[in-house]
Amino acid sequence: MLTRRHAFYAGALALAALGIGRLARPHAVNAATRSYEVTHTDAEWHKLLTPAQYEVLRQEGTERPFTSALLDEHRAGTFACAGCDLPLFSSKTKFESGTGWPSFWAPLDNAVDETEDRSFGMTRTAVSCHRCGGHLGHVFNDGPKPTGLRYCMNGVALKFAPAPAGSS
């Protein structure tokens, strides 16, 4: 017979399992074991990044939707990692996804790494910077042609560099 006590214990165990899953993310393990071209101590990252950038890039946080100035960035140029300046996405691949985060249908060559993320009781594909390992967002299979992918990126994890005048 299921009692309130059993229901309470079951709920507490489920929450604990989610919490442990969040702490033991494959992406975090990958970042700890992979060697990156750009590395800093935790204290150095704190000095180099804003609190919001640190939360996303180093702690795998997520910015609130519809808060990034880059969401409405439509000029020609390149979106780079806010942690190490590696060019990640061309403005030519940016599209309006309606999700509240800057979205792209493809990254630049050798710019990002993708790993399985099992946090929050679901399986997703996390996207990180190839040079520094900073968490950028996730990629989903509901994007436009030609790739059908949606790289849903945290704007705070990106910097925008406009293309030089006269270039396309």
| Beta-carbon-side half-sphere exposure of residue 13 (alpha carbons within 13 Å) | 6
Six token digits for residue 95 = 């599209």
Q: Is the previous residue joined to 146 through a cis bond, with omega within 30 degrees of 0?
A: yes
CA neighbours closer than 13 Å in the CB half-sphere of residue 152: 21
How far apart are the C-alpha atoms of 138 and 151, rounded to whole Å? 6
Decide if 152 is catalytic.
yes
Catalytic annotation, pick one of 81, 84, 129, 152: 152
DSSP state of 10: H
Question: What residues are annotated to the active site?
Answer: 152
